[in-house]
Amino acid sequence: MAIDEGESGPKHLNSSELLKKIDKLREKNIGKHVPLPQLVVVGDQSSGKSSLLASLTKIPFPRDLELCTRYATQITSRREVDPSVEISIIPALDASREHRAKVQGFKRTLRGAEDFRSEFPEILKEVDECMGIRTDLSSKQGSVFSKDVLRIELCGPEEDYLTVIDVPGIFRDPTAGITTESDIELVRNMVKNYIKDSRTVILAVLPSNVDLATQEILKLAKDYDGNGERTLGVLTKPDLVIEESAKTALCSLVLGRKRPLTLGYYLVRNQGADQDTSFSGEEGERMFDSQPWNTLPRDRIGIQALRERLGELLSEVTEREFPELRKDIKNQFDRCQQDLELLGPARQTERQQRAFLSGLARQFQSFTRAARDANYAENEAFRDCESRLLTHIVNLSESFSSKFHDKAHLFPFDCPGSDTQDTHNLNGQDTTITDKCRAFEDLDPTDFPELEHIVSCVVESEDPESDVKTWIKELYISSRGLDLGTFGSNVLSSAFREQSTKWEAMAQEHVSNAIMVVHRFLSVALNNLCGSKQLYDKIWSSILDELLERYKKAMSQALFLVSVERNRRPYTLNKRFNETLQKLRSARVAQALEDNARVDKDSWIMKVVDMDAIKKTARNQGNVEHIIGEIHDILWSYYQVARERFVDNVHMQAVEHCLLTGPESPLEVFSQEWVLNLEADELGAIAGESQAIKARRTNLKQKMEDLKAALQTLKF
């Protein structure tokens, strides 16, 4: 939402027009968002603040010596043709919804100043009641002070343009049964909140008959206005100063010779609390015609001089701060818009919630597809190693294949001839994954407690034991029957089952690692996408049970493949079995011939074998030895085929199909279809906004509306 500030500046407006605009901002309570140019009357309790305001505004404020101002009061006077008085209440920023509605409903509009002044005391009682302030100080019902603001707007042909804010007077000691220590702190904080802003002119009301060193308001003002550039001192009750030395000291203050302030000091005499309303300000100020007051500049003494100076001062501050004020409001508006965008679309209705969660699921599926296909250039999130899903799976599978080839058998086979050796790295090629990639696969089941009953801990496989033929001989002798030079298929089945004893544990370990990689990927991807931990936790807890079920299916598939390979008769249609077996038999015959060969004495190069030696070798080999050799060769030929088949099947079925690409893959759990199938209450529990987010969204929208209205007010 773009806001056009306009190019015109304050030079096109006179002071009264500027002040009108600032007053409109104050009506809209824009001051809670950005500091507005303002005059704030502050002082210690019984310093004469209420009397000063009564003299400045001609409003009959109460001047009870026991307790005066009990809430901030904003008085605005403006020159208009028709006289009117409007009284309203601006709720405190932290007001409850009920209290806010109550005080905002309070409005009093009067015609004519005389009616207003006569009705004002009764109106104040209504204000106290509306704010919840005690009307009877001896009562325990209600509060003594309120953070609400009473707003009084005076319009008339004789009114000057002026806005001042009066705040409760600071006091140090609580009054038994009336005020408490917490009230003291509340008032101090209220005063601080008003005087801390750089656009606030501090009107420090100081009684002339009291040592200024005891006036706490000067210390507070100095805390926020160290150089005294926006503090104006108003000296009251000069008629109570008797000693000539004290009068001289007061004159020194007004003349700027002591405790100087940039805005200086003004000397005024107000109506006292015990004087009736017939008291005339001009009549009371005749004292300034006598010594030593008549030596002071006339523009520094008297209510009228102060009133004129305050009007000038407010105009000066407003003109000076106007450009920065518009800039601050525009910056606040932009920040609100950014914060609102960060919250994402609203999720209050079922339709909004489903659309939001569906969009999130769509993004998630797009990301998982890219990860599954290794399209890492599509998203910067793939810079994170944990998000490179397919790379991890490939590394794990290659590592599994290499480790399975080297260590999955219980006994090492005894195969003659280099072309039939059980060698995995035929070309000297390093088939293990690099150290860098291996670091990616440092998976610890204890990091995934929710997978405790699915994945297995890594158990380092022992190297195969030695003397395979001794083992085969013992197996054959312990189970042979009435076979004439042959052996039963049960021997081969038993031999293969025992030789593949490690397969189940190694397959479980590999699929466990794959499950942990997928689980970690899903968690990281969802967390990055959600942005909010609260939203992530809700979605994750909702899909976790289904994820676990799908992990179990992957592990069950791996165990099924183990069972298929180990718990049935060895059989294969793979031609490699016969090829390997024939090569082994040929190699053994060649080895026997090699052992009985001699060098031809005629050529001294060629080797010859006597037929008698061959016959003798065949005769010397016993039946058991021959059968053991046959079992070994058949077992080895079949084991190679079964091993490669099993490794491929585990990868393709248990890992790739069950975990990555199949319709029941864990990657497919958080999908748009899943979102569409959620019941309304489930949807609300997951995608619905928390009360804090709702409140923040509402506050941001309201603030943007306020600031937009403010910018429209300032546009000219």
Q: Render 93-107 in DSSP notation, one character per residue.
A: TT--HHHHHHHHT-E
Distance CA 678, CA 539 (A): 12
Kindly report, residue by residue over 497-510, the tens digit of the pLDDT. Answer: 888 889 999 999 99
Distance CA 332, CA 36 (A): 14
pLDDT of residue 111: 80
Distance CA 636, CA 644 (A): 12
Kindly report, residue by residue over 593-639, the tens digit of the pLDDT. Answer: 666 666 556 655 666 656 665 555 555 555 677 777 788 888 888 88
User: What is the C-alpha radius of gyration for the chain, rounded to an integer number of angstroms?
Assistant: 47
Distance CA 250, CA 212 (A): 10
The yes-or-no verdict on residue 651 having pLDDT over 80 is yes
The yes-or-no verdict on residue 126 having pLDDT over 50 is yes
pLDDT of residue 332: 93
Averaged pLDDT for residues 289-306: 90
The three-state DSSP-derived secondary structure of 268-296 is CCCCCCCCCCCCCHHHHHHHHHCCCHHHC
Least reliable range by pLDDT among 19-23, 422-426, 624-628: 422-426
The alpha carbon dihedral of 673, 679, 684, 686 has a sign of negative
Least reliable range by pLDDT among 61-65, 323-327, 623-627, 638-642: 61-65
The yes-or-no verdict on residue 329 having pLDDT over 50 is yes
- Both tokens of 78, joined, read 């403006």
Confidence band for 135, pLDDT divided at 50, 70 and 90: low
Task: Give which of 404, 419, 421 is closest to 513, Cα–Cα.
Answer: 404
Kindly report, residue by residue over 652-681, the tens digit of the pLDDT. Answer: 999 999 999 999 999 999 999 999 999 999
pLDDT of residue 592: 61
Averaged pLDDT for residues 23-31: 82
Residues 6+ apart with CB under 8 A from 321: 37, 199
The alpha carbon dihedral of 409, 415, 420, 422 has a sign of positive
The yes-or-no verdict on residue 434 having pLDDT over 50 is no
pLDDT of residue 136: 66
Which of the two residues, 434 and 129, has the higher pLDDT score? 129
Q: Are 475 and 491 a contacting pair, CB within 8 Å?
A: yes
pTM above 0.75, yes or no: no
The yes-or-no verdict on residue 3 having pLDDT over 60 is no
pLDDT of residue 438: 44
The yes-or-no verdict on residue 328 having pLDDT over 60 is yes
pLDDT of residue 291: 87
Percent of the chain with pLDDT over 90: 29
pLDDT of residue 611: 63
pLDDT of residue 716: 61
Kindly report, residue by residue over 240-258, the tens digit of the pLDDT. Answer: 888 988 899 899 989 988 8
